[in-house]
Structure 1
Amino acid sequence: MHSGSVDNRETIVLVTGIGGFLGGHIARQLLAKGYAVRGSVRRMSDCGGIAKQICAAPTDSHSLSFVEADLCSDMGWDAAVTGCSYVIHTASPFPAGLPKDENELIQPARDGALRVLRAAHRAGVTRVVLTSSIAATNHGSGKAPYTEDNWTDPTGKRATPYYKSKTLAERAAWAFAAETGLDLAVINPGIIFGPLLGPNYGTSIGLVRQMMSGKLKRVPRFGIAVVDVRDVADAHIRAMTHPDASGQRFIAAGQFLWMRDMAAVLAQSFPNYAPALPSGEVPNWMIKAMAPFSARSRMIVHELDVDLSVSAAKAQRMLDWQPRSADEAIRASAQSLIDHGLLAAS
């Protein structure tokens, strides 16, 4: 070990949702930094596949272990946090569409976060880092660029069930920390793109796949701040150990792009796919007309033409966080889809 480096091998970090896109990247970076990683999974039968994706070096598997625990049940969480110095809680439902009942989303997000925090508090962990979202900052009375001082109004007309679930879960976490003295830091990422560790992908990468496979002829005039998964993982790990991160929330997101800008980045970088990519925008009136009948339209109807850009100045200043460009994050997603054979050859 080179001088000045820290020996982290005795330091166990619990990563919830380790089978997810972000959780996998966090685990991979922690292993590279020499930490011991314990991942929570809903089914132990998933561990082999997850380990294959996360372990970059042959020795990584010695420092990786798994524990079974579900956000919807108290079972397993005390065992999961025993002996851990840190907990990074990334697990939360992220839907492709709207649930019939918004509580199907809100309850597991809020109750699940509290289950993990309670167990962490009982075990006396040093700090918990919670993954929230700019969904919890961008949809209240604030104005762009949104900062950590802004909060989504869960009672407002713009609060979709997903925005509401992220906001209420984060609020509940801060209330619990205030009440118990638990050391908490929160990361609020934008839409997460970047390289896949395996063939499974979530809603954000699904959007790139839809665009490149010709499923979207036109896109709505909707935009979002983009970030690379590797940089979101890095922000979590920085917030885990930085003395000043205690009690702070950090926006981890870069450039704001309209969906048509994302399509343009893809067309420029992957010219073979250009004919399949969306070529125009759906008029706002059409989305508004579809909203009563389409859950997808309802999710964005109040954000059409709205500047939802954010400022990550705080993370850059306090955590010395330096993210990649939005273009690079989007390109990496597309390249991953191609490499994993998830897109038809162009």
Structure 2
Amino acid sequence: MAKGSYTKHHESPDGPGDARPTAAQIIKDLDLVDKLSDKTILVTGGTDGLGKDTVRQLAKTGAHVFFTARNPAKADKVLQEFADEGKTDLDLKHARIEWIEMDNNSLKSVKAGAEDFLKRSDRLNVLLCNAAIGNVPYHKSEDGFEGTFAINHLAHVALFQYLKDILLKSSSPSFQSRVVVVASAAHGFSSVHFGNLDQKQPIKPMIPLLAIDGPYNPIISYGQSKTANIWFANEIDRRYGSKGLRAVSLHPGAIRTPGFHKQDPRVLAIFDVMMASDAAQKSFKSIQQGAATQVWAAVSKDLEGKGGVYLEDCGQAEAAVQGASGGYQPWAFDEAGQKRLWAESLEMVGMKEDE
């Protein structure tokens, strides 16, 4: 179990809507309504699920919040929803929210989105890497990479490189710039398989229950991308922490997001078995509760000057213990793996080593 101010809230989960905090509660508890008007935050994937509520709650701090979206019509609809909510929710009445067109499936689109952001803002205090897909059939990105790895990891690698300088420039002694990477407990399903990222050579799952017929296992692909997310955050912090740019990764919790039922049917069948117990069902959070840890990670003073850590349940996670829920796996802090992933990822996105 994670250690922090909200430890007791998570001791006896009782399903969505229980005593575990929501992102809205985090903002209230931290007394941050209208307190961050001089800050700018960029959230990737802000039109659905966790990303949407993350944008909503962070906007209540008074920060200028940008979110990325693939679909202009959907993004405009979300903005209108926020505006309508602001008529009755006074905390949102003066929200400053904009969207940036960006598709993580295309490195060209990521570059264009970053360039658009830099034209519209001269500050960036928090980059929240939220956009992701999970457990879908095999596909390739526009650039020819395995799709899950490209969308969940490589797109954020490229985006960070484009925005690194403005993050460093925006950092201050009172609020160091942050990169928050939404990973998952699913990192426990797979480390990173260098030389075999697209599973051209079949990979035997570490947990027999996760086996799927065929050469490509979406669960391994998703788990690999989530380990990559953790390593990415760790390596950012290792390289730039001393320069005032910190990074953390996190597990939001078990949540039935709008994309949950879009997963490969074979994966859903496995998860039905894994999550069949009463305790497992009670571990699920609402979307609003699921957004709490990433909102806390973005603005909590508890993390000021800290980085290179893995979070869950609004606190710092400990090493996983067999037979217990939560925690990070032994390979989550593999420094050699992190350095190799950094170098190979930069090569894949066509960028040069910067250290």
CA contact (8 A) 1:47 1:66 kept: yes
Aligned position for 2:225 = 165
Q: How does 1:155-194 map to 2 (within 5 A)?
A: 155=193, 157-158=204-205, 160-181=220-241, 182-193=245-256
The structure 2 residue matched to 1:222, chosen from 274, 297, 302, is: 274
Question: What is the one-letter code of the residue matched to 1:177?
Answer: D
Structure 2 vs 1, CA of residues 234 and 169 (structure 1 numbering), >3 Å: closer, same or farther?
closer
Aligned to 2:74: 46
- Please name the residue that 1:203 is paired with: 260
* Counterpart in the other structure of 1:84: 124
Structure 1 pair 60–86 and aligned structure 2 pair: CA distance change class (3 A): farther
Amino acid at match of 2:103: D
Residue 178 (structure 2) pairs with residue 127 (structure 1): yes
Three-state SS of the structure 2 residue aligned to 1:191 is coil
List alignment gaps of at least 5 residues for structure 1: 140-151, 195-200, 211-215, 254-305, 313-346
Give 1:157's aligned amino acid: K
CA contact (8 A) 1:31 1:63 kept: yes
Separation in structure 1 between the aligned mates of residue 269 and residue 223 of structure 2, nearest angstrom: 27
How much does 1:89 deviate? 1.5
Secondary structure of 1:173's counterpart equals helix
Compute the RMSD of aligned alpha carbons: 3.5
TM-score (ref. length: structure 1): 0.57
* 1:75 alignment partner in structure 2: 112
Moved more, 99-108 or 36-45: 99-108
- In the TM superposition, residue 244 of structure 1 has moved relative to its aligned partner by 4.1
Q: Which is richer in strand? A: 1
Question: What are the Cα deviations for residues 107-133 of structure 1, in whole angstroms up to 9, with x where unaligned?
Answer: 222211212222332112511111111
Pairwise CA distance, 1:218: 11
1:76–1:85 CA distance, 2 compared to 1 (3 A): same
Offset of residue 165 of structure 1: 1.5
Cα separation, partners in 2 of 1:219 and 1:37, compared to 1, 3 Å: closer
Question: Post-superposition shift, 1:63?
Answer: 1.1
Contact in 2 for aligned 1:41/1:67 (Cα 8 Å): yes
Find out whether 1:109 has 2:141 as its counterpart.
no
1:184–1:78 distance in 2 versus 1, CA, 3 Å: farther
What amino acid is aligned across from residue 128 of structure 1 in structure 2?
Answer: V
- CA deviations 1:69-118 (Å, max 9, x no partner) are 232222221432642221211112224x3315682211222211212222
Map of 1:35 onto structure 2: 63
Q: Distance in 2 between matches of 1:76 and 1:165?
A: 22
Tell me the residue number matched to 1:149: none
What is the identity, as a one-letter code, of the residue corresponding to 2:130? T
Q: Is contact 1:186-1:249 (8 Å) kept? A: yes
Residues 256-310 of structure 1 show CA distances to partners (whole Å, capped at 9, x for unaligned) of xxxxxxxxxxxxxxxxxxxxxxxxxxxxxxxxxxxxxxxxxxxxxxxxxx96722
Deviations 1:41-93 (CA, angstroms, capped at 9, x unpaired): 22433322121334421364751111222322222214326422212111122
> 1:21 is matched with which residue?
49
Counterpart CA distance in 2 for 1:168 and 1:217 is 25
Q: 1:29–1:233: 8 Å Cα contact kept in structure 2? A: no
Q: CA deviation at 1:32?
A: 2.8
**2:40: which partner in 1?**
12
* Matching of residue 309 in structure 1 with residue 346 in structure 2: no
**What is the rounded CA distance, in whole Å, between the counterparts of 2:192 and 2:97 in structure 1?**
38
> CA 1:184–1:218 in structure 2 vs 1: closer, same or farther (change >3 Å)?
closer
| Structure with greater contact order relative to length (CA < 8 Å, sep ≥ 6) | 2
Check conservation: 1:12, 1:86, Cα contact below 8 A: yes
- 2:238 and 2:269 mapped to 1: Cα distance? 48
Question: Is 1:57 aligned to 2:86, yes or no?
Answer: yes
For 1:130 and 1:217, locate their aligned partners in 2 and report how far apart those are by CA, in whole Å.
28
Whole-angstrom CA distance in 1 between matches of 2:237 and 2:221:
24
Consecutive unaligned residues in structure 2, runs of 5 or more: 1-30, 171-176, 194-202, 206-218, 315-321, 329-355
Question: Deviation of residue 180 (structure 1)?
Answer: 3.4
Is 1:22–1:233's contact at 8 Å kept on the other side of the alignment? Answer: yes
Residue identity over aligned pairs, in percent, reads 17
CA distance in 2, matches of 1:176, 1:218: 34
Q: Mark the CA change 1:165 to 1:218 in structure 2 (over 3 Å): closer, same or farther.
A: closer
Return the TM-score normalized by structure 2.
0.56
